């Protein structure tokens, strides 16, 4: 038989231990990935799907073993710093982004939270990493070699536009990598007309300045450009300008051709980076890697609309032909 004092003691012990038991039953806080999307969700759906699928394969399942917070800047560079600051306030465990400007904004916002950039143009030149094999800070990821591929894109254009001499280059000059890419094109020995923009409202006036001064258009890939891809293609078709880009989404929206890394593959590999970081590896110790898959995509419908013939030899080299 338990006396009154014993009952009180038992009850007291139960009350004292109850919060501990309750806390033990509560699920542990999920690690949070902050996804800083530089463009729009619709423009990057294939990239996101590849990233999420790879995470799933590695055991990171949204809502069960990991939380992913998505934010989209819609090509507006002023939003990069705002989103990065929000992720710092949320205390996310890792930030993933793509393109150099948002990666720079994220690095300026935090020197502590690991940052994985799935698509970097020139990570060393931009000051994002100390070197490719030893990044050294809180940023790592994959370099897309965008500027290095400029010559290949122009070479493809020459096959469709015989005697190409006058080329317009449309670039967002607030993106340092686009400036480098513009320089690469200018070094190829063509008469180059540069169309420098900083926001979507600059695109139509830039086309107005062309007035027959170019035979084709080279667009330096950038979040601002991909966000405005339909507008750019509409204006290019109206000006009868064959276009070349760095990624397939432009061609799906009516551009003539693209050549560049397979971006979904880069995002799959970015999933491996995030996995390593969430399991404790420091970004400083994860080397920056290069693309291994490259895609040539051609839109035959656009070629026909422009009255261009695409040679069978070029079509045979294409990874995808849109008809």
Q: What is the rounded distance in angstroms from the CA atom of residue 236 to the CA atom of residue 17?
A: 71
- 45 and 176 both lie in a single domain: no
Q: Which residue has the tokens 């900083």?
A: 198
- 179 and 266 both lie in a single domain: no
- 199 and 51 both lie in a single domain: no
Which residue segment(s) compose the domain that 277 sits in?
Answer: 32-145+262-294
What pLDDT is recorded for position 7? 42
Q: Per-residue confidence at 74, pLDDT binned at 50, 70, 90? A: very high
pLDDT (average), residues 107-134 = 95
At residue 258, does pLDDT exceed 50?
yes
What pLDDT is recorded for position 157? 96
Strands 139-143 and 191-197 come out as unpaired
What pLDDT is recorded for position 27? 56
What pLDDT is recorded for position 295? 96
Q: What is the rounded distance in angstroms from the CA atom of residue 85 to the CA atom of residue 90?
A: 9
Number of domains present in the structure of the chain: 2
| Contact assessment for residue 37 and residue 44, using Cβ atoms and an 8 Å cutoff | yes
In a domain, 253, yes or no: yes
| Contact assessment for residue 296 and residue 319, using Cβ atoms and an 8 Å cutoff | yes
Strands 94-97 and 139-143 come out as unpaired
- 216 and 73 both lie in a single domain: no
In a domain, 267, yes or no: yes
Q: What is the rounded distance in angstroms from the CA atom of residue 76 to the CA atom of residue 68?
A: 22
In a domain, 17, yes or no: no
- 251 and 271 both lie in a single domain: no
Q: Per-residue confidence at 308, pLDDT binned at 50, 70, 90? A: very high
| Contact assessment for residue 303 and residue 255, using Cβ atoms and an 8 Å cutoff | no
At residue 25, does pLDDT exceed 70?
no
In a domain, 11, yes or no: no
- 228 and 278 both lie in a single domain: no
Q: Per-residue confidence at 16, pLDDT binned at 50, 70, 90? A: very low
Percentage of the chain exceeding pLDDT 70? 91
* Greater pLDDT, 132 or 211: 132
Show the 3-state SS of 152-163. Answer: HHHHHHHHHCCC
CATH number (domain holding residue 310)? 3.40.50.2300
Q: What is the rounded distance in angstroms from the CA atom of residue 96 to the CA atom of residue 71?
A: 11
In a domain, 20, yes or no: no
At residue 12, does pLDDT exceed 50?
no
pLDDT (average), residues 247-269 = 96
Interior/surface letters 177-194, b for 16+ CB within 10 angstroms, e for the rest: bbbbbbebbeeeebebbe
In a domain, 13, yes or no: no
| Contact assessment for residue 218 and residue 260, using Cβ atoms and an 8 Å cutoff | no
- 207 and 310 both lie in a single domain: yes
What pLDDT is recorded for position 148? 74
What pLDDT is recorded for position 287? 98
* Greater pLDDT, 256 or 222: 256
In a domain, 78, yes or no: yes
At residue 301, does pLDDT exceed 80?
yes
At residue 117, does pLDDT exceed 80?
yes
Strands 294-299 and 320-322 come out as parallel
- 221 and 173 both lie in a single domain: yes
- 69 and 206 both lie in a single domain: no
- 228 and 285 both lie in a single domain: no
At residue 8, does pLDDT exceed 70?
no
Q: DSSP readout, 73-93?
A: -TT-THHHHHHHHHHHHHT-S
Q: Over the stretch 146-187, which tens digit does the pLDDT of each residue have?
A: 667 999 999 999 999 999 999 999 999 999 889 889 999 999
| Contact assessment for residue 141 and residue 120, using Cβ atoms and an 8 Å cutoff | yes
In 3D space, the residue among 152, 261, 262, 171 whose CA is nearest the CA of residue 217 turns out to be: 171
What pLDDT is recorded for position 44? 93
- 68 phi, psi to nearest 5 deg: -120, 120
Distance of alpha carbon 143 from its chain centroid, rounded?
11
- 255 and 177 both lie in a single domain: yes
In a domain, 3, yes or no: no
- 230 and 106 both lie in a single domain: no
Q: Per-residue confidence at 211, pLDDT binned at 50, 70, 90? A: confident
At residue 37, does pLDDT exceed 70?
yes
Strands 257-261 and 216-219 come out as unpaired
Q: What is the rounded distance in angstroms from the CA atom of residue 323 to the CA atom of residue 301?
A: 5
Q: What is the rounded distance in angstroms from the CA atom of residue 47 to the CA atom of residue 50?
A: 5
Q: What is the rounded distance in angstroms from the CA atom of residue 115 to the CA atom of residue 318?
A: 34
What pLDDT is recorded for position 23? 41
| Contact assessment for residue 231 and residue 254, using Cβ atoms and an 8 Å cutoff | no
């Amino acid at each position: 038989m338990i006396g009154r004092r014993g009952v009180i003691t038992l009850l007291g012990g139960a009350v004292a231990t109850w919060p501990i038991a309750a806390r033990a039953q509560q699920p542990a806080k999920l690690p949070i990935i902050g996804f800083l999307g530089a463009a729009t969700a619709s423009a990057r759906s294939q990239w996101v799907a590849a990233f999420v699928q790879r995470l799933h394969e590695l055991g990171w399942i949204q809502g069960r073993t990991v939380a992913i917070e998505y934010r989209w800047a819609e090509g507006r560079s002023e939003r990069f710093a705002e989103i990065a600051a929000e992720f710092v306030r949320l205390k996310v465990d890792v930030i993933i982004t793509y393109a150099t400007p948002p990666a720079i904004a994220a690095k300026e916002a935090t020197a502590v939270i690991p940052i994985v950039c799935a698509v970097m143009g020139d990570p060393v030149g931009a000051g994002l990493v100390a070197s490719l094999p030893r990044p050294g800070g809180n940023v790592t990821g994959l370099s897309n070699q965008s500027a290095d591929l400029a010559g290949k894109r122009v070479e493809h254009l020459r096959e469709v536009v015989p005697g190409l001499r006058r080329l317009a280059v449309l670039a967002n000059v607030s993106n340092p990598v686009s400036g480098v890419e513009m320089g690469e094109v200018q070094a190829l020995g063509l008469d180059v007309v540069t169309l420098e923009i900083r926001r979507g409202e600059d695109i139509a006036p830039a086309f107005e300045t062309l007035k027959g001064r170019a035979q084709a258009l080279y667009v330096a890939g950038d979040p601002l450009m991909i966000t405005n891809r339909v507008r750019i293609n509409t204006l290019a078709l109206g000006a009868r300008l064959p276009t070349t880009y760095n990624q397939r989404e432009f061609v799906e929206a009516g551009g003539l051709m693209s050549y560049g890394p397979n971006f979904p593959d880069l995002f799959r590999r970015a999933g491996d980076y995030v996995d390593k970081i969430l399991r404790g590896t420091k970004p400083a110790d994860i080397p920056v890697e290069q693309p291994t898959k490259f895609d040539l995509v051609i839109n035959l419908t656009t070629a026909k609309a422009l009255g261009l013939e695409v040679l069978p030899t070029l079509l045979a080299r294409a990874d995808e032909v849109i008809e």
